[in-house]
Amino acid sequence: MKHLLALIALLISFTAQAQGFAAPPTVAAKSWLLLDVTTSQILSSASADERVEPASLTKLMTAYLTFSALKQNRITLTQNVGVSDRAWRTGGSRMFIEPNKPVSVDDLIHGMIIQSGNDACVALAELIAGSEENFVQLMNREAARLGLKNTQFKNSTGLTDTGHYSSARDLATLAVALIRDFPDFYPIYAKKEFSYNRINQPNRNRLLWLDPTVDGVKTGHTDAAGYCLIASAKRGPRRLLSVVLGTESDNARASESQKLLNWGFLFYESVRLYTARQTVSELRIWRGASNTVKAGFLDDFVMSLPKGTAEKLKVSFTSRQPLMAPVRRGDAIGTLKVMIDDKPIGDYPVVALEDVPVAGIIGRSWDALRLWLQ
C-alpha cells in the first residue's frame, strides 16, 4: 500500500500553512526535500525535480548495484579484487587502494561508503560489469526501473561530467530503495570511520556525531554541486529522510539537514487510519460468484499529519460503479478522500480484499437483466 500511497502527492505543506500550523523552515540550499519514509509522504520540498549535479550521492546507485550483485551471488564479500591502473588513478576522495595489491569486496564497500572512495567505486564497477562504462549502463537501467525521471549517470563516482545529473526527489527514492532492499548492508552507513592501507578516514556525515538517531546516509561535494547531504533518522517507529543539495559549506549541509529532520519529527506525527485488511466498505458486485466484495487496504494505512489534527480528519468513500466481476485481490475498486476541516488533503485508492470470480451463466444472465432494468 505504500507504493499506492506514493502515487498520490499529498498537499501537506499547503494544508499545514492554511490551517496555521508550523510552516517549514527556511533552508539555505539549491534544492531540498523532507520525506516521511514510514508513510511515503513528502512533508516539504523546494525545487525537488530540478536537475543538479549529485556529486558523491551518485555512490548510492553504485552501492545499490554492488549489494544486488552480492545478493545474487555474482560476487562475494571475501572475494579479492585486482586494482586497475584506472581505479588507482581516479581523482577526488580516495581510500588509497594500490595496483598489484588485491583488496576484498568488503573493504571496497567500506571504502566507498565511509571514505567516499572514488577509486573503490571504479574497482567495484570494473569487477561487476567489466568496465566503468558498462557499469554506467547498469546504473541508468536501474534508475529507469526505480522510476528516477530526472536522473542520468555518466560515471560511478559522482565526479563532474557533462550530462551527469539527478534531483532531490530521485535521490530520496534511491536512498529509500537502498534502505528497504538491503537492510543487512545499510548499517555500514552509520559507521563513523574506516581504516585501510594504514590510513584512517572519518565518515563525512557530521550528523552521525551530532544526532544519535541519524544512521546515514551520504555526503557529496564538488565545486559545481556544492555541499550535499542525504540524512536519515529513526525516532521511535518513524523514519524521516532529508535531501539537501547545493549548500555553501560542510557545516551548512549538516545544520540545514538537522533543521529539516527536527521540524518533521517535532511538528508531524504518524496516524493510522485503517489496519491492514480492515473493511472500509462492502460493495455490490455484478456478474460475480459473490454479490459483494470487501474493500480496504492490504497494509496499514498510515498518514503523516500535523500534530493535533487527527481528531479533525474526515473521510469519504466513493466506489467504481457498476463494479463487474472478475475482481482480484489488490485491484483498485474505490477511492478514499481524506480531509481536515473539509479541506481535501489527498485521495487514496482502496482495493479489493478478496477475489471474486465470474459467476456461472445463470448468475451472469440474471445480473445482466437486473442491470438492464436499472
Reply yes or no on whether 84 is catalytic. no
Neighbours of 191 (CB within 10 A): 15
Alpha-carbon span 342 to 318, nearest angstrom: 16
Reply yes or no on whether 56 is catalytic. yes
**Sequence ranges of the chain with CATH classification 2.60.410.10:** 275-373
Per-residue pLDDT reduced to its tens digit, 23-55: 889 999 999 999 999 999 999 999 999 999 999
pLDDT at 219: 98
pLDDT at 16: 43
Q: Out of 30, 31, 44, 59, which one is annotated catalytic?
A: 59
Domain 275-373 matching CATH 1.10.20.60: the answer reads no
Reply yes or no on whether 156 is catalytic. no
Give per-residue burial for 315-349: e unless 16+ CB within 10 Å, then b: eeeebeeebbbebeeebebbebebebeeeebbebb
Cβ proximity of 166 and 148 under 8 Å? yes
Give per-residue burial for 195-206: e unless 16+ CB within 10 Å, then b: ebeeeebebbbb
Short-list 258, 226, 255, 227, CA closest to 242? 258
* Chain CA centroid to CA 203, Å: 22
Alpha-carbon span 111 to 90, nearest angstrom: 14
| Confidence (pTM) | 0.87
Neighbours of 154 (CB within 10 A): 19
Alpha-carbon span 349 to 1, nearest angstrom: 9
Looking only at Cα atoms, what is the longest distance across the chain? 84
Short-list 349, 322, 332, 114, CA closest to 218? 114
Q: Is the peptide bond prior to 326 cis by the omega test (within 30 degrees of 0)? A: yes
Q: 2-269: which CATH topology?
A: Beta-lactamase (3.40.710)
Alpha-carbon span 244 to 48, nearest angstrom: 10
Neighbours of 314 (CB within 10 A): 12
**Sequence ranges of the chain with CATH classification 3.40.710.10:** 2-269
Alpha-carbon span 286 to 295, nearest angstrom: 15
pLDDT at 368: 60
Helix (H, G, I), strand (E, B) or coil at 128: helix
> At which residue does the C-alpha cell 499506492 appear?
4
Per-10-residue mean pLDDT of the chain, 374 residues long, equals 38 42 89 96 96 98 98 98 97 95 97 98 98 98 98 98 98 98 98 97 98 97 97 96 98 98 96 94 84 92 90 88 87 92 86 85 57 60
Cβ proximity of 158 and 150 under 8 Å? no
352, containing H or E segment: strand 343-352
Short-list 220, 240, 214, 243, CA closest to 230? 243
Residue 122 C-alpha cell reads as 571504479
Q: Out of 31, 116, 242, 255, which one is annotated catalytic?
A: 116
Alpha-carbon span 88 to 108, nearest angstrom: 13
Residue 171 C-alpha cell reads as 535521490
Short-list 48, 75, 61, CA closest to 168? 48
pLDDT at 372: 60
97, containing H or E segment: none
Short-list 69, 64, 59, CA closest to 127? 69
373, containing H or E segment: helix 361-373
Cβ proximity of 314 and 337 under 8 Å? no
Neighbours of 46 (CB within 10 A): 15
Q: Out of 13, 56, 166, 242, which one is annotated catalytic?
A: 56
